[in-house]
Structure 1
C-alpha cells in the first residue's frame, strides 16, 4: 500500500458542504465536481481519498472565491495563499518562512492572528480565530494547522516532527483523524491553538525554487493531504510491508518482525506504544487500498478482492460494508 492513498474522514466533506450552504452556495455543485455523492457524506463510516478532498476544496475555492471556505469572519480571495507562497520560497530558512507567514497573514486578514516565537529548544506557532463560531466543525482550524505545518516542511524538503499540538476547543467527534494529521500529543481546550516543534530546525535552508513551487501550487492542496511521512515509526514500517504485491493474506506478522530484526513481542509492544496493532494496521491498509482501487472504475470488484487477499468477492464485500457501511458496488456507483 502506498501511503499516499491513505483516506480521510467524510467529516471534512460534510463541513465544506455545510459551510457552502450557509453562505448560499450549492453543496451539490461542489460535491459533484469531486465525484462525491451527496448520500455518501451522510454515513459516518465513509472515507474519502486525498484526491477527492483536494478536488472538493479546489471546487469550493473557485465557486466561493474564498480560501477560508466561509468558515471565518472574513473571506480571503482565491489566490492569496499563492501570493504568500511566491514570497516565502525566497526566504533563507525555516525561521524566515514562519516570520514571513505570520507577517503576511497578520497584514492581509482579520480572520485570525498568528504569532511565532522560539527559544533554544522549542519553536511555537500560535493561531487565534477572531470569530471561532464560524468554524463550527473545526474544519478551518484543522486545515490551517496542516497548512502551517506541511507547507514549510515542503519548502525545506524535510518533515517537521511535532512536539505537541494544542487546540482551543473540546475533543471533537473526528478526533481519531488527529492521530495521523498531527502525530504527537494533543491538548484540548487550550488557551490558544498552537503547534510546537524543535527550534533546531529553524536554521534549515529553503531548498525549493520558484519553478518547483509552480508545480506544487498546481497540485495544492493535494500534497498537504498525502501523509507519507506522518505515521509513527513502527506503524509506518508495518504499513510499508503491507502491499497488494506482497499479498495481504500471506504476509505474516512474524515475517515483518524478522525483516525489522526484532522479535514479534518487541514489535507488538512498539505498536502498542503507538496505540495500534497489527490487525488494525492490516485492516486500515486493506480498507484504504480498496477505496483507492474502487475510485478507478476500470478495475472489477473481483480483481480488487483478489489483490486484497480475499478468497472471493462476497467475502470482500462483507468486509468493505463493515468498514464503510455500504457495499463496494454501491460505493463504486
Structure 2
C-alpha cells in the first residue's frame, strides 16, 4: 500500500480493538483504495492468513514485494506489541538464487511460485488487543521503512539480544564481542558457545544487520553509496560493493529507487 494511501485509512484501522478487527478493516480499505495492492484477510480459526495481490507492481527483481510484505509483517507485530511468528509465507515469483535473506527478514523460508503473496500466522493472535493508536502512527511512519528491516520479532534468544546491542553500531562504533559479552554478563567464550548452539556467530549477526540496513537505505535512496559505506564501517566504497554483491547476488545499484 502506498504511504499516502496508508495514511488515509490508518486512523480507522488503528482504532480497532483487536488484531482481528484491524485486519478486517485493512481488507475493507484495500477494496476501496484500488490503486493499492489488494490485501484480503482470510481469518479462519486454524491458520488465518493475509493474501496480497501484487501482480500490478512493476517489480522484476521482487524488491518492492519483499519490502511491502516485510512492512505488513512488522506493522502487525508493532500494533499488538508482540512477536508474530509466521506459520508459512508464499511468494508470487520463482525461487531466487539467494535465500538467506528471507530467514533473516521473516524468520522462515518461503514457498515460491504462488499466485499471490500469502502470510500465515497463528490463530491465537487474532484476539490480541491493539496496543498502538492512531496517535502513535505518525512516529512509526516517520521511522518506516528506515527501521523496520532491523526490527526483529523472533523471540528473546541470545542472538536476539546480540542483535539489539549490535543495532547501536549503526549510529556509532560497532560493539566488540568482548563488549557484547560484558553487557550480557557472560564470558566471550560462553557467548560464542550460546550463539553456536543457535547456529550463528557475532560476525554473522553483524553481517545480517549490515545487509538489511544497506538494502533499506538503498530502497529509500537518501544516502549515497559512499555515505552508506562509511556509516557501515567499510574502509572504502569498493569494499561495500563487494560485500553487498556477496550478500544479495546483486550490485547496490539494483536496489536504487526506479
Using the size of structure 2 for normalisation, the TM-score is: 0.68
1:278-289, aligned counterparts within 5 Å?
278-283=202-207
Distance 1:220 1:256 in 2: 28
SS in 1 for 2:20: helix
Contact 1:180–1:227 at 8 Å: present in 2 too?
no
> Against the structure 1 CA distance between its residues 279 and 150, is the aligned structure 2 distance closer, same or farther, given a 3 Å change threshold?
closer
> Against the structure 1 CA distance between its residues 156 and 137, is the aligned structure 2 distance closer, same or farther, given a 3 Å change threshold?
same
Distance 2:159 2:42 in 1: 32
> Against the structure 1 CA distance between its residues 238 and 155, is the aligned structure 2 distance closer, same or farther, given a 3 Å change threshold?
closer
Match of 2:235 in 1: 317
Distance 1:289 1:138 in 2: 17
> Against the structure 1 CA distance between its residues 145 and 323, is the aligned structure 2 distance closer, same or farther, given a 3 Å change threshold?
same
1:72-221, aligned counterparts within 5 Å?
79-109=4-34, 112-131=37-56, 134-172=58-96, 175-217=99-141, 219=142, 221=144
Distance 1:248 1:197 in 2: 36
Distance 2:36 2:180 in 1: 51
- Higher-Rg structure is 1
Which consecutive residues of structure 1, in runs of 5 or more, have no partner in the other structure? 1-66, 69-77, 309-315, 327-333
How far does residue 125 in structure 1 lie from its aligned partner after superposition? 0.6
Q: What number of residue pairs does the alignment pair up?
A: 230
Using the size of structure 1 for normalisation, the TM-score is: 0.54
Distance 1:190 1:288 in 2: 25
Contact 2:192–2:201 at 8 Å: present in 1 too?
no
| Aligned mate of 2:152, from 216, 219, 229 | 229
Query: CA RMSD, aligned part only?
Result: 4.2
Distance 1:289 1:114 in 2: 27
Match of 1:52 in 2: none
> Against the structure 1 CA distance between its residues 90 and 253, is the aligned structure 2 distance closer, same or farther, given a 3 Å change threshold?
closer
Which consecutive residues of structure 2, in runs of 5 or more, have no partner in the other structure? 218-222, 244-258
SS in 1 for 2:17: coil
SS in 2 for 1:96: helix
> Against the structure 1 CA distance between its residues 170 and 288, is the aligned structure 2 distance closer, same or farther, given a 3 Å change threshold?
closer
How far does residue 183 in structure 1 lie from its aligned partner after superposition? 1.6
Match of 1:4 in 2: none
SS in 1 for 2:89: strand
How far does residue 200 in structure 1 lie from its aligned partner after superposition? 0.6
Match of 2:249 in 1: none
Higher relative CO (Cα under 8 Å, sequence separation at least 6) belongs to: 1
> Against the structure 1 CA distance between its residues 207 and 173, is the aligned structure 2 distance closer, same or farther, given a 3 Å change threshold?
same
Match of 2:176 in 1: 248
How far does residue 162 in structure 1 lie from its aligned partner after superposition? 1.5
